[in-house]
Structure 1
Amino acid sequence: MKRAAIAIGMVLGAVWAVAIVLLPLRLGLPFVPPALAIPAAFLIPGIVMAMMIGVLAARRFFNADLIDGSAAITGTRVDIDERVLLNTVEQMVLALLIWPFIGFNLGGVSILALGVGMAVARLIYWVGYHVSPPLRSLGFAASFYPTLFGAFWAVWIWIN
């Protein structure tokens, strides 16, 4: 059952990735210079990440056992929030390294779509992890796959 839920999340994440990367290219949206779009693209996922940090800080502040920075008990809400935040940092670092290349090859609108998509996917990941850990697969895939697919598509455009 867990593997099926994870596999469904991965497939839906792949569909999401193709839509996030290709749809902005097909809609004929106005040109946005990559130099303007790149910083803006990180704003919304940055706000989501700030929310994660704030919620985690509040959980620690109001827990006498954790206020001094002690390790959270595995499976608790604090532990899950820490895992979500760590994975979000990993995803954002990857995005910081790859999205500029995507933006300069596919255009600024593509980067803006990646930013909005990342924010939504990270929220899905966060909620999914709290509901049932296998449900986080959709949020993970919808965060990770668009960056990879966008990079491959940008390389394809760049070399052709």
Structure 2
Amino acid sequence: MSQKRGMILAGMATGALWAIGLLWIGAQIPVPIAMIQPVLMGAVFGPGVVLMLMIARLAQRRFGDDTAIDGQKLTGGAAVDQAVLTNTLEQVVLALCIWPLVGFFLGAGTVLVLGLGFVVARLLFWGGYHLSPPLRAFGFAATFYPTLFAAVWVILRLVSG
């Protein structure tokens, strides 16, 4: 196994542990089910702010670069920012599809923690990608795995009755 693959695997494994920790912490936070709607809105606010920061950074890069101002293909750090934005948008859409039922079945506290964890993980993904592409593995896994594990947990609860 190459050193790069080893770094990516370590990031993925650490992201899986992060996911388990987030779900465990979220399960400990008692939030009345009547609060699910405001909690869901609050949980997706953080990811929305991260998207806004990424969009703003990309717009700033385009504005400041004569080779990109007219919509040309991005290069260098701007291309990394575009890739991060695209992946973050994918993760936000996934969260919006999954988190409402997670909140209903696993508790609103779980969704609140997922939202906070999302913000931290996405910022680490963004920074890691700029430092060295294999370092983005943790941020990716720490964003994707909590939603994945929560979805599996909901499915298991639905199947088991």
TM-score bracket for this pair, using the shorter chain length: over 0.9
> Do the aligned residues in 2 keep the contact of 1:118 with 1:143 (CA within 8 Å)?
yes
How far the C-alpha of 1:34 sits from its partner, in A, is 1.6
Residue 8 (structure 1) aligned to one of 10, 20, 35: 10
Matched, 1:86 2:86: yes
Matched, 1:146 2:146: yes
Q: Which residues of 2 match residues 99-118 of structure 1 at below 5 A?
A: 99-118=99-118
> Do the aligned residues in 2 keep the contact of 1:36 with 1:108 (CA within 8 Å)?
no
- The one-character-per-residue Cα deviations of 1:75-116 (angstroms, maximum 9, x if unpaired) are x00000000000000000111111111011011111010000
Stretches of structure 2 lacking an aligned partner (at least 5 in a row): none
How far the C-alpha of 1:142 sits from its partner, in A, is 0.2
How far the C-alpha of 1:28 sits from its partner, in A, is 4.7
Distance 1:71 1:28, change over 3 A: closer
Percent identity of equivalent pairs: 45
Provide the C-alpha distance between the structure 2 equivalents of 1:117 and 1:37, rounded to a whole number of angstroms: 14
2:127 maps to amino acid: V
SS at match of 1:70: coil
- The one-character-per-residue Cα deviations of 1:124-160 (angstroms, maximum 9, x if unpaired) are 0000000000000000000000000011112222333
SS at match of 1:42: helix
SS at match of 2:54: helix
Between the two proteins, the alignment pairs up a number of residues equal to 157
1:106 maps to amino acid: L
TM-score by length of 2: 0.93
TM-score by length of 1: 0.94
Provide the C-alpha distance between the structure 1 equivalents of 2:137 and 2:23, rounded to a whole number of angstroms: 19
1:7 maps to amino acid: L
Q: What do you get for the CA RMSD once the two structures are aligned? A: 1.1
1:117 maps to amino acid: G
Which residue number corresponds to residue 32 of structure 2? 31
Distance 1:30 1:38, change over 3 A: closer
Matched, 1:124 2:127: no
Provide the C-alpha distance between the structure 2 equivalents of 1:102 and 1:30, rounded to a whole number of angstroms: 13
> Do the aligned residues in 2 keep the contact of 1:80 with 1:129 (CA within 8 Å)?
yes
Higher helix share: 2
1:98 maps to amino acid: I
Provide the C-alpha distance between the structure 2 equivalents of 1:38 and 1:141, rounded to a whole number of angstroms: 22
Provide the C-alpha distance between the structure 1 equivalents of 2:95 and 2:49, rounded to a whole number of angstroms: 15
Which residue number corresponds to residue 65 of structure 1? 67
Provide the C-alpha distance between the structure 1 equivalents of 2:70 and 2:157, rounded to a whole number of angstroms: 51
Matched, 1:53 2:59: no
How far the C-alpha of 1:35 sits from its partner, in A, is 1.5
